[in-house]
Amino acid sequence: MKVFVRGKTAKGSKNQPSEARASGASQGRSKSLLRWPNRWGISRWTFGRRGAYFLVVPFLIVATSSFFNPNIFKISQFEVTLAPTVDVGSPVSKTSTSRDLIFAGLQREWLVRLGEYQGAWVWTFPLAKIFAAFSQDPRVETIDIQRSLAGKVAVNVQVVNPRYGVLEKDGLSLVTDQGVLLASVPLQEAPDVPIFTGPELRENPQRRREVIAHLQELPDLGPFSRRGISEITIEKDKGLVVFLSHPKHEIWLGNESIKGKVENIEQVLNYLSGHVIDGRVIDARLKKKVVVRVRSGI
One domain for residues 155 and 201:
no
In a domain, 11, yes or no: no
Query: What's the rounded mean pLDDT across residues 140-161?
Result: 89
One domain for residues 148 and 199:
no
* E strand or H helix at 280: strand 280-283
The 3-state DSSP class for residue 130 equals: helix
- Give me the percent of the chain exceeding a pLDDT of 90: 27
In a domain, 40, yes or no: no
In a domain, 47, yes or no: no
Which pLDDT value is given to residue 25?
46
Which pLDDT value is given to residue 277?
85
Burial 140-164 (b: 16+ CB within 10 A, else e): bbebebebeeebebebebbbbbbbb
One domain for residues 201 and 144:
no
Which pLDDT value is given to residue 163?
86
User: Does the pLDDT at position 145 exceed 90?
Assistant: yes
Mean pLDDT over each residue of the chain, to the nearest integer: 77
**Which of 112, 138, 159 is at the close of a domain?**
159
The 3-state DSSP class for residue 156 equals: strand
In a domain, 83, yes or no: yes
What are the residues whose beta carbons fall under 8 Å from the beta carbon of 9, sequence distance 6 or more? 2, 3, 15, 16, 17
**Which of 159, 179, 210 is at the close of a domain?**
159
Q: How confident is the model at residue 190 (pLDDT cuts 50, 70, 90)?
A: confident
User: Does the pLDDT at position 49 exceed 80?
Assistant: no
In a domain, 97, yes or no: yes
One domain for residues 274 and 216:
yes
CB-CB contact of 112 with 124 (8 Å): no
Q: Residue 106 belongs to what domain range?
A: 77-159
- Alpha-carbon span 152 to 118, nearest angstrom: 10
Which pLDDT value is given to residue 196?
93
One domain for residues 127 and 216:
no
Query: What's the rounded mean pLDDT across residues 52-66?
Result: 56
One domain for residues 205 and 125:
no
CB-CB contact of 129 with 154 (8 Å): no
User: Does the pLDDT at position 168 exceed 60?
Assistant: yes
Which pLDDT value is given to residue 55?
61
In a domain, 102, yes or no: yes
- The residue type found at 164 is Y
For the chain, how many structural domains are there in total? 2
Rounded to two decimals, the pTM is 0.63
Bridge pairing between strands 229-235 and 181-185: unpaired
- Give me the percent of the chain exceeding a pLDDT of 70: 71
One domain for residues 198 and 271:
yes
One domain for residues 212 and 265:
yes
In a domain, 92, yes or no: yes
Query: What's the rounded mean pLDDT across residues 79-107?
Result: 71
Alpha-carbon distance values, 258 to 128, 284, 289 (Å): 42, 9, 13
- The residue type found at 155 is V
One domain for residues 200 and 290:
yes
Least Cα distance to 239 among 268, 280, 198, 205 occurs for: 198
User: Does the pLDDT at position 107 exceed 90?
Assistant: yes
In a domain, 103, yes or no: yes
**Which of 159, 174, 207 is at the close of a domain?**
159
Q: Comparing 63-72, 81-90, 106-115, 190-199, which segment has the lowest mean pLDDT?
A: 63-72
Neighbouring C-alpha atoms within 13 Å toward the C-beta of 38: 6
Alpha-carbon distance values, 22 to 26, 35, 130 (Å): 6, 20, 61
One domain for residues 134 and 205:
no
8 strand-pairing partners = 5
Alpha-carbon distance values, 122 to 28, 77, 255, 267 (Å): 51, 11, 55, 63
One domain for residues 227 and 277:
yes
